[in-house]
Structure 1
Amino acid sequence: MDFKAAKGPRLSLDPTSVLDIRSCVVDGVDLSPGRAIPDDGDPRIDHSLEGFLFTCGPDHIRHPEPISGKDGANYPLHGSFSSRPADILDVSLEDDADCRARVPVDLADGGKALLTRHWRIDGANGEVHLRDTLCNAGETPFPAMLMYHMNIGSKHLDEATRISGAMIKEGSLGWRFGDPAGQVFCVPAGKGGWAEVRLGPIAAIGGRTLIVRFRTDTLPFLQMWHNQSAPAAVLGIEPVSHRWVGRAELEKAGELDLLAPGETREYALTFAFV
């Protein structure tokens, strides 16, 4: 579904999978990675990872781990969101673009959740806004986990492109951090208010910089990754609810945020090219 305003990027939203972003076109350039991605053996995630932004959760993030009390059963790669169709409630494509949807989700452990999603592009400044409300629509609590997985085709980046933010050691680093073939890190982003991370300049889109901001009350960490092992050529910017350790360690440390039946959590991010 095409989604654009008077100013800002031209997006394609995917109603077949959580109303995530497939393409993000700036100055005629699609910044999504397409097929230049790693293959983790899950076609749902292959489809999602091709796009500019997909949503991980709400019952699990990152790689599969066992479901407690279910012998041999695992949470799926990146959780149960991916491939869930969205029920679009209303769309407006005037000077400002606005779209609201609901996404019912059957969780891997048998529970149920409901995501209420609101996309908006400010036609005055081109900034894209995402507001999500996650509700436990089932009968038992579950740990709410969420990660926005923003993927940029790194073929558009060069040696001048850097990652910058208050959570980054020394304030910034080159986008090809760590092992040139690929690496992941996850750092605290704050404990309230909004965090900001920048990627730029990006010469392919006229030297613009991508600015991503996100709520840190429910997304207190920033994960970053890149994979340059052929055929992959992708960089990920990932606001996330939990630090980069396994579920057992999170549970032991009391860091699994239980969402009671009928209870909600709110998440938000914005991004713009300036």
Structure 2
Amino acid sequence: MSGPLTHIDLDTVHQFSAGIGTYASARLVTLSDGRERGVRVIEMRSGGGVEIDVAVDRSGDIGRFSFNGQTLSWHPSTGLTAPGLMDQEGDNGQGFLRGFGGFLNTCGLDHIRQPDSDKGVTSNQGQIDQVHYPLHGKGTFQPGVIRGYGLVDDVDVPYVFCEVEFCQGMSFVSALRLRRRIEMPVGAQHFTIRDTVRNIGSTPATHMLLYHFNLGFPLISPGTEIDLGGDPCIWRSHEHAPTAPFLSPDPRAINAISVFDHGSDKGRVTVTNRLDGMALQLEYPSAQLPYCQVLRMTAPGIYGLGIEPCTTAARSRQEARDRQEMIILHPNEQRHYCLRVALTENET
């Protein structure tokens, strides 16, 4: 694939237009209706057909992701629910599902997967000796702080960027900060997410992270294929074929979850729709995210695919400890994560 600006230099652009910002940009807007009211969004356009909406007030996650005007992300009926309307602890700890959706939901920063309880690592408040964690943790759907955004056109490879951060903390217990920078080169069909999670508190804190990427119709439709490069499946929620081509929506379908163990230096997941003429590839260092969870949703109206790189394959906090996969961040200690999302040509 090559975008309209890929092979055009800046001097040429200025000959025909007011500048490259006409085609590639980052713009801050605020949603103002329904459950989305008040959510700030940075609209990023590469000029090569890729557009993403970075929801500042949903942990810097990505709402709509489209290519040439065609939406590729999976969305629920509720839209980008504002953080003030979220109650992660509600619905027996399943409150995450009332805001889940869009291209990316960041899960953590200290817990992922099903609700759980655990003894705190340390605390200087004696009454807090047991912590309850909702589905995918308490760091989801957090209001953010904007550190910067815009078009950088005075470099050899111009790019559009945004940088946001949020803090998940509780006095006397822990404080974790995620700082996120998203960059997309002008004219490109790819973008990169770079995250740093730092313990900004005064006590050690547990750390888990899962990136919940959600793809929907028409990219996900009958015949869509999933390829994890031969990495082995090490867990299934029930007996099913995790990488089988998608079939038509089935009213009897239940969500199917599987976990894969990356055996090479890179985690690489490719989702291909040959009829649509499009493939999406997600890449990241397996040293940072050694596992990938796959969620297949195939019921009518709830039809899509979740690709979920994560720090642990454990189904509970105790199992994570047993597997030596529970990360402990000490004060001022940090972890880095880098993920690349690209649209590629289908193989013939």
Q: TM-score range by the shorter chain?
A: 0.7 to 0.9
> Which residue is equivalent to 1:164?
227
Larger radius of gyration: 2
> Which residue is equivalent to 1:247?
317
Amino acid at match of 1:268: C
Which of 257, 260, 268 in structure 2 is aligned with 1:196?
268
Which of 18, 23, 26 in structure 1 is aligned with 2:67?
26
> Which residue is equivalent to 2:98?
46
User: How far does residue 139 in structure 1 lie from its aligned partner after superposition?
Assistant: 1.6
User: How far does residue 109 in structure 1 lie from its aligned partner after superposition?
Assistant: 8.6
Amino acid at match of 1:199: V
User: How far does residue 73 in structure 1 lie from its aligned partner after superposition?
Assistant: 4.6
Cα deviations by residue, 1:62-121 (Å, 9 ceiling, x for unpaired): 111013165775112211221211111111135521111221222599310111111001
In structure 1, stretches of 5+ residues that fail to align are none
Distance of 1:256 and 1:168 partners within structure 2: 22
> Which residue is equivalent to 1:218?
288
User: How far does residue 155 in structure 1 lie from its aligned partner after superposition?
Assistant: 5.3
Distance of 1:260 and 1:91 partners within structure 2: 30
Cα deviations by residue, 1:143-179 (Å, 9 ceiling, x for unpaired): 2110110001245423331101224459x932449x9
Contact residue 291 and residue 311 of structure 2 kept, 8 A: yes
Contact residue 89 and residue 100 of structure 1 kept, 8 A: yes
Query: Does the alignment pair 1:140 with 2:191?
Result: no
User: Matched residue of 1:173: which SS?
Assistant: coil
How many residues align structurally? Answer: 267
Cα deviations by residue, 1:175-230 (Å, 9 ceiling, x for unpaired): 449x9533100011136x32211001264xx4110010012112000110112234
What are the within-5 Å matches in structure 2 for residues 1-274 of structure 1? 1-35=42-76, 41=91, 42-47=94-99, 49-68=100-119, 73-93=131-151, 95-106=158-169, 110-154=173-217, 156-168=219-231, 173-176=243-246, 180-190=253-263, 193-201=265-273, 203=275, 206-274=276-344
User: How far does residue 271 in structure 1 lie from its aligned partner after superposition?
Assistant: 0.6
Amino acid at match of 1:184: I
Structure 1 window deviating more from structure 2 (206-215 vs 118-127): it is 118-127
> Which residue is equivalent to 2:125?
none
Distance of 2:282 and 2:76 partners within structure 1: 24
Q: Please report the RMSD computed on the Cα atoms of aligned residues, expressed in angstroms.
A: 2.7
Amino acid at match of 1:74: H
Structure 1 window deviating more from structure 2 (107-116 vs 51-60): it is 107-116
Structure 1 window deviating more from structure 2 (119-128 vs 214-223): it is 119-128
1:55 and 1:77, CA in 2 relative to 1: closer, same or farther beyond 3 A?
A: same
In structure 2, stretches of 5+ residues that fail to align are 1-41, 79-89, 121-127, 153-157, 234-241
Percent identical pairs in the alignment equals 25
Distance of 1:187 and 1:107 partners within structure 2: 33
Amino acid at match of 1:165: L
1:71 and 1:142, CA in 2 relative to 1: closer, same or farther beyond 3 A?
A: closer
> Which structure exhibits the higher relative contact order, with contacts defined as CA atoms closer than 8 Å and separated by 6 or more residues?
1
Distance of 2:274 and 2:74 partners within structure 1: 15
User: How far does residue 10 in structure 1 lie from its aligned partner after superposition?
Assistant: 0.6
User: How far does residue 245 in structure 1 lie from its aligned partner after superposition?
Assistant: 2.1
Amino acid at match of 1:85: P
